[in-house]
Amino acid sequence: MQAKSVYLIPSRLIAILPEYSKYGELYSNILEVNYSFVNERNPYDTIDDHCLYYGSALRGKIEGANSILKTKINPIALNGPESIILIPTKSPMSKDGIWFNLEHIIDFQALGKREILVFLSNGDTIRVENSYKQFKSRVDRGYILRTKLEERQNLQHLQSHYILDPGKRYHYQRNNGKLNFEMVIQNKRDNKDK
């Protein structure tokens, strides 16, 4: 059995577009800053493969974003060595939506009631079937998601924890059928004797 190749999404990713093969199979057209290629997985599965590689799943990313932002059709944050926020043009569960990397969206303008032109960091543009208001809302939520995640990461470093004396040793035990463990301080000598 041959292992499948996983496209690990880098910060240079601009967008993932749906592309149908001549046989009607849905693939991903991967647009990077100076490169593009076709991945034989649909956009949803391409992103899910990346998430699974890092120990999560796209469905979990969607649920997490919905929980943080309290809305539907949200951007998602990817795990990995780089912090990436992806913006969907359709429901994230859709197999054929376009996904934009927030960092590469320079601007966008309305072309009609349900069509916009997205200007990208490499000078390219993509015509998208979304209203200006709808797309702007999704981009705004991308920035909100990024900010909230950064705040949570910073808060995690500031939260107080028990400060344990490095000169002492501790023993944790459950006493008399209690549910929780209790911490008992041992002196260094007690620990050496065991």
**pLDDT for residue 11:** 95
Gyration radius of the chain over CA positions: 23
Nearest 5°: phi and psi at 112?
A: -175, -170
Token pair recorded at residue 137: 């809302």
pLDDT digits 0-9 by tens, 150-185 = 888 877 665 555 566 667 777 777 777 777 777 777
Average pLDDT on 58-79 reads 93
Confidence of residue 1 (pLDDT cuts 50, 70, 90): very low
Query: What residue spans define the domains of the chain?
Result: 13-158, 164-194
- Average pLDDT of the chain? 88
Confidence of residue 41 (pLDDT cuts 50, 70, 90): very high
